[in-house]
Structure 1
């Protein structure tokens, strides 16, 4: 993807500035203002890490994803929150595939994304227009709920698991929707052996309006107070729902206040299929 040099009026006259194509996408959304926002920037080669992190901080959405083409249907992919690079991000992967299909001229049916820590992730375009992502699903193990976690969440879960995140089960969807955690306290806590930085908590309950499970995801440890729609969380949630409830295919609502996202998940051994839609809301240029 080209990054032309342009003339841009600065305070001291005209300065030489680099211009990058940028798309902003609502992922796991049927229309604008739903799901989770991601910025997608196609590149010819990755920029220095500090520059990519600075751009993500400037964009100030949950994730900014950078993609670099390496073959006919293959790209390298990296994800940054406004604070850190993360090893896996579902909604920005969905958004990146949507951009390639809808805006960047890719006419194939499937895309392969090579990532630094999560291996190869594939995204396939379905006949109904939805995108199906193939992701790893790591093992989970049940853990005790500590008093510190209960206090930070503001309510005591009835059950908890450790994995790539801390997963906390509550009795009802209403309990999940009523949560108002102490984010400063939550940022310092996590599950034993958690794969990511501490302070990443998925909270869920079985059931909900027209869905199998309702959840929310708090991520102060990743620089995000609450994430609106989190694909990586659903790789863990799919495994828990399979092991506890015997449901290998689930329809999920991530009940972020005012937005929310719907994600279909199907567990297949050590992999999970995450299915959803995405909508472009902004197309423009980012000037460095």
Structure 2
């Protein structure tokens, strides 16, 4: 019976039960896609990350939700780097991931123990706030942008925290031409408790009703903040009910740095 190392990590978390759960599975070669998807469905967390070594300091990386393979995932990348630094014995200060759709991603270990990810930040554009979207969100945003996702700005952190969208309706909506242009909505407001921005991320289009901590969403959010609100650097709080996640962002040209911590909560073997 084949076995594979298995780690479950709370990413963008300072302690267990915060941030977002990711499973990380190092292997010598990628298994067939249908098996990778079945494993992710069995794990039943937001993302499972698969790592295959390529060269010294370089790994191939793929991410699967329980429903689909995704082109970019921040929290599972953070979790993967955490596993390599913490349990994998990797002792350099920077490592690299080669991905299918997002190119090379780098993660640096900072002096204070936090991990800094270097990600692409795709272009954004203003988009209409339609009556369908207002009905699905259950509230009217002040303005919205399209890009990798649909991003909607509200007037206060409380308005974001109080959202209770119709997820079935939301799944069919979005901004045309995005990376995930249907059923993936980031909702945010300026301000919050000790942070510059408070947000939530709803992703029924990716098989996740609401994601607890979303690095890919923060790459888009960082571009909005830097371009439209003179906030090239910001502390952000993703206000998932009952958990919550701190993500620090810094926009640098067409790249963004995402900074956070991670904690391993389960370690073992996955048996096939």
- The reply to whether TM is greater than 0.5 is yes
2:263 maps to which residue?
279
TM-score (norm 1): 0.94
Q: Is 2:11 the counterpart of 1:27?
A: yes
Cα RMSD, aligned residues only: 0.5
1:110 maps to which residue?
94
1:79 maps to which residue?
63
1:210 maps to which residue?
194
Q: Which has the larger radius of gyration?
A: 1
Per the TM alignment, residue 197 of structure 1 is displaced from its structure 2 partner at its CA by: 4.6
2:2 alignment partner, SS class: strand
Q: Is 2:62 the counterpart of 1:58?
A: no
Per the TM alignment, residue 194 of structure 1 is displaced from its structure 2 partner at its CA by: 1.5
Residues 86-235 of structure 1: matches in 2 within 5 Å?
A: 86-235=70-219
1:180 alignment partner, SS class: coil
> How far, CA to CA, are the matches of 2:67 and 2:182 in structure 1?
14
Aligned length: 272
Q: Is the 8 A contact 1:90 1:231 kept in 2?
A: yes
Per-residue deviation, residues 110-147 of structure 1 (Å, max 9, x unmatched): 01000000000000000000000000000100111000
> How far, CA to CA, are the matches of 1:105 and 1:180 in structure 2?
43
TM-score (norm 2): 0.99
Q: Which runs of 5+ in 2 are unaligned?
A: none
Q: Is the 8 A contact 1:197 1:222 kept in 2?
A: no
> How far, CA to CA, are the matches of 1:183 and 1:194 in structure 2?
19
Per-residue deviation, residues 31-73 of structure 1 (Å, max 9, x unmatched): 0000000000000000000000000000000000000001110
> How far, CA to CA, are the matches of 1:90 and 1:109 in structure 2?
19
Q: Is 2:227 the counterpart of 1:243?
A: yes
**Runs in 1 of length 4+ with deviation above 4 angstroms?**
none
1:79 alignment partner, SS class: strand
- 1:84–1:197 CA distance, 2 compared to 1 (3 A): farther
